[in-house]
């Protein structure tokens, strides 16, 4: 069976990286609508960083048939966008005096478990109903 001059490409919807990036995008839109003022530049920055992560995976997948170099470059742009988004989430917590959950925190463990078991294109932020919808203030260990 001949594949033709240009090898098969696309199929990004089957990529785990795309599926996770789509979840991150949807969750970020939900988060920003709920917690970040629409007039705040951070709102648009976070949504655009999440979108860029998703879209660059699509573009890289589509380019893979003709240029592996372009596929790698676009994948790296997607990774950089996700890192930018992570920094924005951490900034959100820091400026509000909210502690980031440590790796062993029950909520962090729950989210990691959901990350491993959820079927493609599901919404973990909707399924994580046991997690508070409002960020809570850090608890003080001195006192």
Lowest mean pLDDT among 11-20, 51-60, 120-129, 133-142: 133-142
pLDDT-derived band at 106 (thresholds 50, 70, 90) equals: very high
Give backbone dihedrals phi and psi of 34, rounded to 5 degrees, phi first.
Answer: -85, -40
Q: Are residues 44 and 76 both part of a single domain?
A: yes
- The range of the structural domain enclosing residue 110 comes to 101-131
Of 9, 22, 86, give the one whose Cα is nearest residue 56. Answer: 22
Residue 90 · residue 96 · CB < 8 Å: no
Q: Are residues 52 and 92 both part of a single domain?
A: yes
Q: Are residues 90 and 78 both part of a single domain?
A: yes
pLDDT-derived band at 116 (thresholds 50, 70, 90) equals: confident
* pLDDT for residue 107: 94
Query: Exposed, middle or buried by CB within 10 Å (0-12, 13-18, 19+), for 57?
Result: buried
Q: Are residues 62 and 76 both part of a single domain?
A: yes
Q: Are residues 49 and 82 both part of a single domain?
A: yes
Please give the helix or strand (H or E) that residue 33 lies within, else none. helix 16-35
Please give the helix or strand (H or E) that residue 35 lies within, else none. helix 16-35
Q: Are residues 107 and 47 both part of a single domain?
A: no
Residues 6 or more apart in contact with residue 105 via CB below 8 angstroms: none
pLDDT-derived band at 141 (thresholds 50, 70, 90) equals: very low
Q: Are residues 80 and 37 both part of a single domain?
A: yes
* pLDDT for residue 7: 61
pLDDT beyond 70 at 143: no
Tell whether 122 is covered by a domain: yes
Tell whether 52 is covered by a domain: yes
* pLDDT for residue 126: 53
Of 111 and 142, the structure prediction assigns the larger pLDDT to: 111
Q: Are residues 18 and 55 both part of a single domain?
A: yes
Q: Are residues 84 and 44 both part of a single domain?
A: yes
* pLDDT for residue 64: 86
The structural domain count of the chain equals 2
Q: What mean pLDDT is predicted for residues 7-32?
A: 89
Q: Give pairs for 14-20: CB < 8 Å, separation 24+.
A: 15/57, 15/61, 17/57, 17/75, 17/78, 18/54, 18/57, 18/58, 18/61, 19/120, 19/121, 20/115
Q: Are residues 95 and 106 both part of a single domain?
A: no
Tell whether 7 is covered by a domain: no
Q: Are residues 65 and 20 both part of a single domain?
A: yes
* pLDDT for residue 30: 97
């Amino acid at each position: 069976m001949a594949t033709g001059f240009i090898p098969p490409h696309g199929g990004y919807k089957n990529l785990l990286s795309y599926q996770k990036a789509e979840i991150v995008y949807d969750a970020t839109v939900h988060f920003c609508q709920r917690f970040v003022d629409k007039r705040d530049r951070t709102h648009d920055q976070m949504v655009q960083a999440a979108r860029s992560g998703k879209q660059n995976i699509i573009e890289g997948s589509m380019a893979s048939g003709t240029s592996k170099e372009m596929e790698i470059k676009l994948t790296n742009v997607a990774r950089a966008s996700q890192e930018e988004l992570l920094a924005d989430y951490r900034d959100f917590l820091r400026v509000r005096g909210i502690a980031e959950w440590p790796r062993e925190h029950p909520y962090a463990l729950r989210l990691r478990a959901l990350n491993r078991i959820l079927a493609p294109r599901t919404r973990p932020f909707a399924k994580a109903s046991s997690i508070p919808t409002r960020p809570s203030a850090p608890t003080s260990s001195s006192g």
